[in-house]
Structure 1
Amino acid sequence: MHAIAAFAGLPIESHEALVDVELPMPDHGPRDLLIRVEAVSVNPVDVKVRVARSTPDHPRVLGYDGAGVVEAVGAEVTGFAPGDEVWWAGDRSRPGSNAEYQAVDHRIVAHKPSPWSFADAAALPLTSLTALESLRDHLRVDPHAAGTLLVVGGAGGVGSIAIQLAKRISALRVVATAGREASAEWATAMGADAVVDHRDLVASVRAAAPDGVHHILSAYTPGNIAAYAEIAVPLAGVVALDGGFEDTAPLKPKSMSLHLESMFARPLFGAADLGRQGEYLAEVAHLAERGLIRTTANEHLDGFTAANLREAHRRVESQSMIGKVVVHR
């Protein structure tokens, strides 16, 4: 089958950073779906894994978002049949979606939103799971949750869908950060109640939420811990989507909690509740089918080639992306 692989941690300007290759068809186990991939999107984790490659002799197929069609099902699979249109985020310990076919545990797969194209669907699995795990599993947000949620990075992939989901699954007021006019417009279109300038975080958040924020979803945590402690109410929670942040001591006086979100934790460690990821994706699909959320796909590249994947990586690395970039057949 055709696939696009990384062999070494080369800069994206190199034609060898991602290359077209031919690989054997993946084996699918008793709990797996064999899926024909129709569209993928690129996330920061793709970039991180690519640049960390140090063994050039073994191709690594990246890709942690996909939408496609079920070709075959394992003996223990329930709820899926060949021909089903599905979406998924996958498992970082297995070959990814940057290939013609991928084998994926059916418990982390769901039927894609029926009105959406494969390209529109491929933008959302990883970010939707990250957002729902952050809101539900870490911050314990429920339909009765009130107060203010601060989304740091409101125009990014996770921020874009987190704003939408927070407005649908809770009574939270959502304040998002942005640094450019286009980013602010996008976050507002996603449903943010207010958009503030991240370059003057404390002052701008205090102006928008003078009583303080109750929850913080942070895509840019380094350098912001002290600011979060200033703008939060006592017992507030912070979910960090990144790492490498400094001393967390400023959170102590307000008895704040810090959660480290990794969407890959459940599949990577075979969590007992692994199927929750499939359930979350089914919930998001239901919201999409009712017209309650929109895709965050904002840039499309037509043609499943290494050149297009390199371009998608380049755009993500630029750190100026609004929404998601999708590559489709």
Structure 2
Amino acid sequence: MKRNMRAVGYRTAGGPAVLEDLELPVPEPGPHDLLVRVEAVSVNPADVKLRAGADPGGKARVLGFDAAGVVEAVGGEVTLFSPGDEVYYAGSIDRPGSNQRLHLVDERIAGRKPASLGFAEAAALPLTTITAWETLFDRFRLGPDSTGTLLVMGAAGGVGSMLIQLARVLTGLTVVGTASRPDSRRWALDLGAHEVVGHDELPDGVDYIFSPFTAGKIEQYARVLRPGGQITAIDEPPGLDLLPLKSKSISFHWELMFTRPLYSTPDLLAQHDLLERTAELVDAGRVRHTATAHLGKIDAEHLRKAHETVENGHMTGKVVLGGTV
């Protein structure tokens, strides 16, 4: 007999009010899948963007990427985990989301939860960690001996918070962040930024720029970057003109942390590996979690509040639900 489970989803695009409590069938694991009992989740701008603009046409769609929980069952080809293991992960944009009691995730994009963190704290990490890691080491191709200056736009946001920490711990870069409010400036400095400046007070002579909001910024980036510098962007502004970058031979990269799972790339296991390495760094006290707001249990009421909080654009760190803190 098919079991049902609790979930939160939406049937039509709109504001946070469209989120509703649901009863859905428990999914069956595929060959490489973990069936995870979700204990905690966090909400990301990607959740808000999809809820507002991706209309499922009346069919229930479950959002959620970041999750931490316990493995309940595994697919027939799973080798990395066993039932009872505590895991954390960010999932994939082409599968049902983590805002449900039992959730499927490919073992190759999950990692063992940091032992020193609770589920809620761990749920704050995966999506932003993967984005930051891939920015530094796959797009910019940096390493432990890399030097120069990294400019992190929106340094107090989720990805910026992890970029600062990983760059400080795993590279030789000088890290400059941008922030506008006193609390977000303090947050970025506490995480390890060497300097924090205003969003429009960018220093000259930087080598790398991380850009979460790129519209209208290209000419400014071209001015402050050194010749041969690099930019990695995670947004998709329409009509983006990159021509101002040409005279300095500046490279422009896109980063989408869902690329590997979306296309089942040969190096899919890299996301498992980086989450495992991050857990080691967290447990060693070298990287800290970025959860700053715990808004209650995982249900429609509390997820609506979380979406509203993320949507207002003034978050420092991450919003989490479920688990305990």
Same fold (TM over 0.5): yes
Partner residue of 1:4?
A: 8
User: Are the equivalent residues in 1 in contact too, given 2:227–2:249 (CA < 8 A)?
Assistant: yes
Partner residue of 1:309?
A: 303
Partner residue of 2:273?
A: 279
CA distance in 1 between partners of 2:201 and 2:212 (Å)? 14
Letter paired with 1:253:
S
Partner residue of 1:216?
A: 209
User: Are the equivalent residues in 2 in contact too, given 1:88–1:109 (CA < 8 A)?
Assistant: yes
SS at match of 1:176: strand
Question: What TM-score, normalized to structure 2?
Answer: 0.96
User: Are the equivalent residues in 1 in contact too, given 2:233–2:253 (CA < 8 A)?
Assistant: yes
Structure 1 residue runs without a partner (length 5+): 207-211
Letter paired with 1:152:
M
SS at match of 1:279: helix
Partner residue of 1:201?
A: 201
1:268 Cα deviation after fit? 0.6
SS at match of 1:5: strand
Matches within 5 A, 1:245-256: 246-256=240-250
Matches within 5 A, 1:87-106: 87-106=88-107
CA distance in 1 between partners of 2:310 and 2:298 (Å)? 17
1:288 aligns with 2:282: yes
Letter paired with 2:13:
G
Partner residue of 1:209?
A: none
CA distance in 2 between partners of 1:301 and 1:175 (Å)? 31
CA distance in 2 between partners of 1:63 and 1:95 (Å)? 8
Matches within 5 A, 1:8-19: 8-12=12-16, 14=17, 17-19=18-20
1:223 Cα deviation after fit? 1.1
1:133 Cα deviation after fit? 0.5
Partner residue of 1:326?
A: 320
1:55 Cα deviation after fit? 3.1
CA distance in 2 between partners of 1:231 and 1:89 (Å)? 33
State the number of aligned residues. Answer: 318
1:56 Cα deviation after fit? 3.6
User: Are the equivalent residues in 2 in contact too, given 1:150–1:217 (CA < 8 A)?
Assistant: yes
For residue 260 of structure 2, the aligned residue among 266, 270, 284 is 266
SS at match of 1:259: strand
Alignment identity in percent?
50
Letter paired with 2:322:
H
1:53 Cα deviation after fit? 2.9
Question: What TM-score, normalized to structure 1?
Answer: 0.95
Partner residue of 1:70?
A: 71
For residue 238 of structure 1, the aligned residue among 231, 246, 249 is 231
CA distance in 2 between partners of 1:310 and 1:90 (Å)? 21
User: Are the equivalent residues in 1 in contact too, given 2:15–2:51 (CA < 8 A)?
Assistant: no
User: Are the equivalent residues in 1 in contact too, given 2:40–2:322 (CA < 8 A)?
Assistant: yes
SS at match of 2:117: coil
- Once the two structures are superposed, residues 158-206 of structure 1 have per-residue CA deviations (whole angstroms, 9 ceiling, x without a partner) of 00011000001100000000011111011111110000001x234xx23
Partner residue of 1:34?
A: 35
- Once the two structures are superposed, residues 38-88 of structure 1 have per-residue CA deviations (whole angstroms, 9 ceiling, x without a partner) of 000000000111112323421111001000000011111112111100000
User: Are the equivalent residues in 2 in contact too, given 1:7–1:53 (CA < 8 A)?
Assistant: no
